[in-house]
Amino acid sequence: MIIHVAKNIPESLLKDFITHHQAVHYEKPETYVLITPSATKETDRSIDKYITKQVITDTDIQLAGTKYLAEKRIVKVGNITFGAPDSCVMMAGPCSVESEKQMEQTAELLLELGTKVLRAGAYKPRTSPYSFQGLGLEGLKLLDKMRQKYGFYIITEVRDSTHADDVIAYADIVQIGAKSMYDHGILRKCGKSSKPVLLKRGFGTTLQELVQMAEFILSGGNENVMLCERGIRTFETKTRFTLDLCGAAYLKYNTNLPVILDPSHAMGYAYGVPDLAKACLAMNVSGLLIEVHPDPKVALSDASQQLSHEQFRKLYGELKSMSEALHIALV
Ligand code: PEP
Ligand code: MN
């Protein structure tokens, strides 16, 4: 159950309720927001007169649920808006920050196409300790340089909670990756910040679990959360993962959070990314995350799936035409 409680409630009453119902709580300028386990269906009489909103929920999809907010939440990143109806934000760039030269080349491409959100990881959660782990803080500084120089918004991932504060400070959107999405240190730090967060679904994560992880951030008081489907593991081995478009439809219709699709990590091979990206746009989701590299064959991570600039240019032109036909603003 979610309840909004007026700020004039006596402190002791509020504290007693929180303790008695094990309520998670945060404060907004105009109200207290208290969330009890979904099994709780009733409040105590004593606080009744201070309640301004009450939503009884069926599962622990609470703050993210449409019962609480029927409209999509709008997540603002500078002058870019995620979650607006019929609007899709392109987030593009390499898997990893590798060098200043590579960042400059990427910047040139984004400027040419007029896209505003630059993606690249500085802390990479690799599946082998012997693979490139990312440039770390140096990578964040390079991203910052691109932002200062060209006005991009930066989305970059946090791998663990030891550097979460740095990523939160440097990023415009904090990406929590598929392998880190259960890390409570990260989730709780993101909950205490107001920076927009893109939470990726783990490849073995149910939709319920994904949304519950988002609830950790939301119930910490950060209302700027987006969900990203990036492929789940199925019996199929010919593609790296399987992009769960059914799951994306579920999230779109059953949560109030903007839904983003990442065709690059799902497919794992550049040849399939353009077709998938078009399917994603046709689903009218709030954003796309696509990997593009100046020279994919020498990329230090995810080489096989990154589009070349040539391929991305072509895809972007096709997506633009499609978006016009679909009356979707591709930002
Ligand atoms: C990435 O975006 O480069 C990445 C590591 O993605 P995921 O967490 O989905 O594997
Ligand atoms: Mn990648």
Answer yes or no: do 109 and 38 share one domain. no
Rounded to an integer, the average pLDDT of 91-113 is 98
CA distance 244 to 267: 11
Answer yes or no: do 316 and 249 share one domain. yes
Answer yes or no: do 51 and 127 share one domain. no
Any idea what DSSP says for residue 171? -
pTM, to two decimals: 0.97
Answer yes or no: do 130 and 259 share one domain. yes
pLDDT in tens, 294-330: 999 999 999 999 999 999 999 999 999 999 999 999 9
Rounded to an integer, the average pLDDT of 213-221 is 98
pLDDT at 44 over 90: no
Answer yes or no: do 246 and 178 share one domain. yes
Answer yes or no: do 22 and 142 share one domain. no
Rounded to an integer, the average pLDDT of 121-147 is 96
Per DSSP, the three-state class of 157 is strand
Instruction: Centre a 10 Å sphere on the Cβ of residue 13 and count the other Cβ atoms it contains.
Output: 14
pLDDT in tens, 6-29: 999 999 999 999 999 999 999 999
Q: How is 81-142 classified by DSSP, letter by letter?
A: EES-TTEEEEEEE-SB---HHHHHHHHHHHHHHT--EEE-BSS---SSTTS----THHHHHH
pLDDT at 192 over 90: yes
Residue 104: inside a domain: yes
Domain region containing 283: 75-330
Residue 60: inside a domain: no
Please write down the HEC assignment for all residues of 242-301.
ECCHHHHHHHHHHECCCEEECHHHHHCCHHHHHHHHHHHHHCCCCEEEEEECCCHHHCCC
The pLDDT, as a whole number, for residue 314 is 98
Question: How deeply is 16 buried, as exposed, middle or buried, from its count of CB atoms within 10 A (0-12, 13-18, 19+)?
Answer: middle
Residue 61: inside a domain: no
Residue of 157, 229, 264 with the most ligand 1 atoms within 8 Å of its CB, for mutation: 157
Residue 66: inside a domain: no
The pLDDT, as a whole number, for residue 248 is 98
| Any ligand 1 atom below 6 A from CB of 265 | yes
Structural domains in the chain (count): 2
| Any ligand 1 atom below 6 A from CB of 319 | no
What does each C-alpha distance from 232 to 141, 179, 259, 266 come to in angstroms? Answer: 32, 12, 16, 7
| Any ligand 1 atom below 6 A from CB of 121 | yes
Distance 265 CA to ligand 1 centre (A): 7
Residue closest by Cα to atom 2 of ligand 1 = 95
Answer yes or no: do 38 and 115 share one domain. no
Rounded to an integer, the average pLDDT of 62-85 is 97
Strand partners, 118: 92, 154
| Any ligand 1 atom below 6 A from CB of 200 | yes
The pLDDT, as a whole number, for residue 43 is 84
Answer yes or no: do 240 and 196 share one domain. yes
Residue 135: give its domain's CATH number.
3.20.20.70
Answer yes or no: do 13 and 127 share one domain. no
Is residue 22 left, alpha or beta, with left meaning phi > 0 and alpha meaning psi from -120 to 50? left
Residue 302: inside a domain: yes
